[in-house]
Chain A
Amino acid sequence: AQTVTQSQPEMSVQEAETVTLSCTYDTSENNYYLFWYKQPPSRQMILVIRQEAYKQQNATENRFSVNFQKAAKSFSLKISDSQLGDTAMYFCAFMNYGGATNKLIFGTGTLLAVQP
């Protein structure tokens, strides 16, 4: 069974600074997707960034980038130039590629607070 672990329950960063959120996962599968989702106080889950396991290049989406280490089963999220609107709960998630259900398996989340 796949598991996703986020070891940082809470983090804080100053506005305009850079912060890295950690995520590790465990799977015996070789083909999968990894995602970072953001859940602001409004509660709507929003996709931040995704990474296909077969791609060696780390995904980047504007101020958000990942450090994907497949051998180490690590998938950290870096937020550059943090903004107040980045304050939210961040979830790392795993999806088995080609699975019939497209189920997402979530980590326990990291609550990020961006301080002015």
Chain B
Amino acid sequence: EADIYQTPRYLVIGTGKKITLECSQTMGHDKMYWYQQDPGMELHLIHYSYGVNSTEKGDLSSESTVSRIRTEHFPLTLESARPSHTSQYLCASSTLGAGPRGDYGYTFGSGTRLTVV
């Protein structure tokens, strides 16, 4: 079944550690996104990608970085985690056009809840 997978689902890590949040999709979508969801539930786009070897910063500044070496894979990395990075991170992907459901094929992962202590 076509889907988008995020791992880990929960992560508690110490300050200063390097972490990578994984995101993979099996739908062949060209566009992928990372949204940060703060404790107040507001969602902000922090990174997006048009396709392989394409990455752009989103609307909210983030110290994280992303890469897109393969179509299906869009990992997010924090070189040195800090308590201010504590948040929920949602990965999503979409098709080029409106898609069969008319929603631009937007599919969200289940999220990674990151806590930095």
In the assembled complex, the CB of B75 is this many whole angstroms from the nearest CB of chain A, namely 19
Write the nearest CB–CB distance from B14 to chain A, whole angstroms: 24
Q: Are A50 and B102 in contact (CB under 8 A)?
A: yes
**A53 interfacial by beta-carbon distance below 8 Å:** no
Q: Is A56 an interface residue (CB 8 A)?
A: no
Q: Are B31 and A106 in contact (CB under 8 A)?
A: no
A103 to B60, CA, bound (A): 13
Count of interface residues, chain A, beta-carbon cutoff 8 Å: 24
* Closest chain B CB from A31 CB (angstroms): 12
B103 with A108: CB separation less than 8 A = no
A116 to chain B, nearest CB (A): 24
B34 to chain A minimum Cβ distance, whole angstroms, is: 12
Question: Considering residues B35, B88, B106, B113, which has the most beta carbons from chain A within 10 angstroms of its beta carbon?
Answer: B106
Binary per-residue interface labels of chain B (24-47) against chain A in the complex, 1 for a CB within 8 Å, 0 otherwise: 000000010101000011110100
Is B81 close to A, CB under 8 A?
Answer: no
A106-B102 CB under 8 A given contacts A43-B111, A45-B90, A45-B108: no
Q: Does A28 contact B (CB under 8 A)?
A: no
- Contacting pair A109 B41 (CB below 8 A): yes
If A43-B111, A101-B48 touch, whether A106 touches B106 (CB-CB below 8 Å) is: no
Binary contact readout A5-24 vs B (1 if CB under 8 angstroms, 0 otherwise): 00000000000000000000
Complex: chain B residue closest to A99, CB-CB: B104
B42 with A43: CB separation less than 8 A: no
Interface string of B91-117 (1 = CB under 8 A from A): 010100000011110101111010000
- What residues of A have a CB within 8 angstroms of the CB of B43 in the complex? 91, 106, 109
Tell whether, in the assembled complex, residue B110 and residue A43 are in contact, meaning their CB atoms are under 8 Å apart.
Answer: yes
Would you list which residues of chain A between 88 and 116 have a CB under 8 Å from chain B?
A: 89, 91, 95, 100-106, 108-109, 111
| 5 residue pairs A–B, Cβ–Cβ below 8 Å | A35-B103, A43-B110, A47-B106, A104-B33, A106-B42
Residues of B within 8 A of A (CB): 31, 33, 35, 40-43, 45, 48, 50, 56, 58-59, 88, 90, 92, 94, 101-104, 106, 108-111, 113
Task: State the A residues within 8 Å of B (CB).
Answer: 33, 35, 39, 42-47, 50, 52, 89, 91, 95, 100-106, 108-109, 111
